[in-house]
């Protein structure tokens, strides 16, 4: 029981690193959200250093999400410029706004933009998301002229997921699925031990656990290999 719980704790910890690992591998998603014409596209262009998004005084110019990636402090960030959030009867613009809300929900970091006299958008925010509020077109921040960008860049670096240098991080979706399945099988083993089931009844779930881990290491895994070196060989380190 003690060994099964110890291994399951390790499997669960590794699986929990997948979302962080995936973000570090593909770029931490950062959604730029706000009302129309507060400077979202200007901010994206300023951050990536090129004209990726159309800047216009006409409301509703951005109707689809525009993405680009940059590196800050050795960390890759994936910025998403979204359609301005407002009430509209335009069907196409409404679709863009819906995509904006979806991008905000998927983001790890939300840059909530506004300008003097314009309220911040009222959107749902998860507890695990970081929200950075930006009031554009002020003395301390002007995306068009780069004022305040250095401070914003540092805030983004500070908000990025942190890992220790010795951490093993899962970045492969197939490995994550195998760990999840191994965890499910091992939970059944632990429950069977609680119920004092015979070894014959436990053996099938034990075999499934080993097989799921073998999907990561490749080949057959014997119980001895599991005890000796499974967790030092089946994941790629950071």
> How high is the mean pLDDT of the chain?
78
Which of 162-196 are b and which e, b meaning 16 or more Cβ less than 10 Å from the residue's Cβ? eeeeeebbbbbeebbebbebbbebbbbbbebeeee
Q: What is the rounded distance in angstroms from the CA atom of residue 232 to the CA atom of residue 238?
A: 13
The bridge status of strand 66-72 relative to strand 75-81 is antiparallel
pLDDT of residue 89: 56
Contact between 221 and 210 under an 8 Å Cβ cutoff? The reply is yes
HSE-CB at 34 with a 13 A cutoff on CA atoms is 27
pLDDT of residue 221: 57
pTM of the model: 0.60
Q: What is the rounded distance in angstroms from the CA atom of residue 113 to the CA atom of residue 99?
A: 17
Q: Give the mean pLDDT of 125-134.
A: 91
Kindly state the percentage of the chain with pLDDT values over 70.
Answer: 73
- pLDDT tier at 96, thresholds 50, 70, 90: low
Tens digits of per-residue pLDDT, 17-51? 777 776 667 788 898 988 888 888 889 888 887 65
Mind listing the domains of the chain with CATH numbers? 2-17+168-233 (1.20.120.430), 25-159 (3.40.50.300)
CA nearest neighbour of 45 among 150, 144, 153: 144
Dihedral Cα 198, 200, 202, 206, nearest 10 deg = 150
């Amino acid at each position: 029981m003690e060994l099964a719980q110890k291994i399951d704790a390790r499997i669960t910890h590794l699986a929990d690193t997948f979302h962080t690992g995936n973000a570090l591998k593909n770029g931490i998603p950062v959604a730029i959200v706000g009302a129309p014409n507060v400077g979202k596209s200007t901010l994206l262009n300023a951050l990536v250093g090129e004209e990726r998004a159309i800047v216009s005084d006409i409301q509703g110019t951005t109707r689809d999400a525009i993405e680009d990636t940059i590196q800050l402090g050795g960390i890759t960030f994936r910025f998403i410029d979204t359609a301005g959030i407002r009430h509209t009867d335009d069907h196409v613009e409404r679709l863009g706004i819906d995509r904006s809300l979806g991008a905000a929900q998927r983001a790890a970091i939300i840059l909530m933009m506004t300008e003097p006299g314009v309220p911040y958008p009222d959107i749902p925010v998860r507890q695990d998301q970081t929200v950075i509020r930006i009031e554009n077109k002020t003395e301390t921040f002007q995306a068009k002229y780069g004022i305040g960008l250095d401070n914003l860049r540092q805030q983004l670096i500070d908000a990025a997921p942190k890992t220790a240098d010795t951490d093993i991080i899962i970045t492969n979706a197939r490995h994550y699925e195998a760990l999840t399945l191994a965890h499910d099988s091992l939970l059944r083993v632990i429950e069977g031990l609680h119920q004092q089931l015979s070894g014959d009844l436990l053996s099938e779930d034990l075999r499934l656990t080993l097989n799921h881990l073998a999907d990561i290491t490749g080949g057959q895994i014997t119980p001895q290999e599991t005890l000796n070196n499974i967790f030092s060989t089946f994941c790629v380190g950071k």
